[in-house]
Amino acid sequence: MLSFTLPIIFALVGACASNDNLKPIIIQQGTHPVADIQWTFETTPSWSDEFDYTGLPAPSKWDYDLGGSGWGNNEKQNYTNSINNASVADGKLTITARKENSNGMNYSSARLVTRNKLDVLYGRMEINAKLPTGKGTWPAIWMLPTDFAYGGWPKSGEIDIMEHVGYDQNTVHFTTHTESYYFKINTQKTATKFIPTASMEFHTYRVDWTPYAISGYFDDVKVFEFANEGNTYKEWPFDKRFHLLLNIAVGGDWGGAKGIDDQIFPQSMVVDYVRYYKMIKK
């Protein structure tokens, strides 16, 4: 989810009606590609939230991005740390966008982050979630660099494990952005998959991140692979630590491209679990 600028997606593959038609994207490598030595991952998560408690999200694991600045995308929500926008009960985390005046904005929502609580370099991140629906919603499960070592967006990279806009119901996106590969120059790496029950049932969204590649999986089906070309940070800034974000935006340049239906609110993204597995070093 682009935090700093307009997030229009130019898909390299179209939405697919079934897994049989889905093909992973294989990106052509550069002159100094990193060898694939078949990195694997630990089988027990080193960090997880199973949401087996009640109340606000655990402060030992989650922080919040706050405010109604538009977040570089002309978004219409104010992000809060209120239990009305982010709450845990019955084994689930619920992030809720509401139609209400909130700090001068017309909608409230929440954007949870693990920054400075879980910052990772490589590994497997797996999230089981049910998405909101309706025109104007824009949920995302994604990762940003903690330190922005290579500079501001998109120089230090972005990994979108799951993005969805409500006016294109059930089409789910996996995308990476870098200085060389991002939407403003129509070069970003992205894949889409049609998931007919994205807002009715829980589905698993996953990234496997190694020095060789970033690979995306929806319900354990590989939909995306972006291999490390071995050139410069402009192509591969993914050698620094990143953190996880969970949020619902309202409107914005992509989410609101076909307007906002105020009759749909409140809308929620419900998360069953978040699990991080370390990569096993070779």
Mean pLDDT (whole number) for 270-277? 99
Which pLDDT score is estimated for 281?
Answer: 87
Q: What is the largest CA-CA distance in the chain?
A: 53
Task: Give yes or no for residue 14 having a pLDDT over 90.
Answer: no
pLDDT of the residue at 22: 41
Mean pLDDT of all residues in 85-98: 98
- Closest alpha carbon to 281 in 42, 118, 46: 42
Q: Mean pLDDT over residues 241-267, rounded? A: 98
Catalytic residue numbers read 158, 163
Give this prediction's pTM.
Answer: 0.89
Of 54, 68, 47, 197, the residue nearest 124 (C-alpha): 47
Alpha carbon distance 44, 274 (integer Å): 13
Q: Which of 28-42, 95-109, 242-256 has the lowest mean pLDDT?
A: 28-42
What is the average pLDDT across 188-193? Answer: 95
Closest CA to 131 of 63, 177, 55, 196: 196
Three-state SS annotation for 114-132: CCCCCCECCEEEEEEEECC
Place 66 in a pLDDT band, splitting at 50, 70 and 90.
very high
Query: In which element (H, E) is residue 237 found?
Result: none
Task: Provide the pLDDT for residue 11.
Answer: 33
Supply the pLDDT for residue 171. Answer: 98
Tens-digit pLDDT profile for residues 42-63:
999 999 999 999 999 999 999 9
> Between vectors from CA 219 to CA 98 and to CA 240, what angle results, nearest 5°?
80
- Token pair of 126 as six digits: 């797996």
Q: Which two tokens stand for residue 57?
A: 């999200």
Average pLDDT taken over every residue of the chain = 91
Q: Is the pLDDT of residue 21 over 70?
A: no
Q: Mean pLDDT throughout 79-104?
A: 98
For 202-223, what is each residue's pLDDT tens digit?
999 999 999 999 999 999 999 9
Tell me, which fold does domain 19-280 have in CATH? Jelly Rolls (2.60.120)
pLDDT above 70 for 8:
no
Check pLDDT > 80 for residue 250: yes
Note the pLDDT of residue 184: 84
Spatial distance between the Cα atoms of 136 and 161, rounded to a whole number of angstroms: 20
CA-wise closest residue to 214 among 171, 173, 160: 160
Q: How many whole angstroms separate alpha carbon 57 and alpha carbon 93?
A: 7
What is the phi/psi pair of residue 140, to 5°?
A: -150, 145
Residue 20 in this model has a pLDDT that exceeds 80: no
Is the pLDDT assigned to residue 190 strictly greater than 80? Answer: yes
pLDDT value, residue 2 = 57
Domain locations along the chain:
19-280
Average pLDDT over residues 106-113: 98
- The per-residue pLDDT for 30 is 52
- For the stretch 56-89, what's the b/e string if a residue is b when 16 or more beta carbons lie within 10 angstroms of its beta carbon? ebeeeebbbbeebeebebebbbbbbbbeebbbbe
State the pLDDT at residue 31. 58
* Residues above pLDDT 70, as percent of the chain: 89
- Give the pLDDT score at 15: 31
What is the spatial order of strands in the sheet that 189-194 belongs to? Answer: 63-65, 111-113, 242-250, 137-145, 158-163, 171-177, 189-194
| Average pLDDT estimate for 135-148 | 98
* Predicted local distance difference test score (pLDDT) of residue 268: 98
Amino acid at 50: E
Identity (one letter) of the amino acid at 187? Answer: T
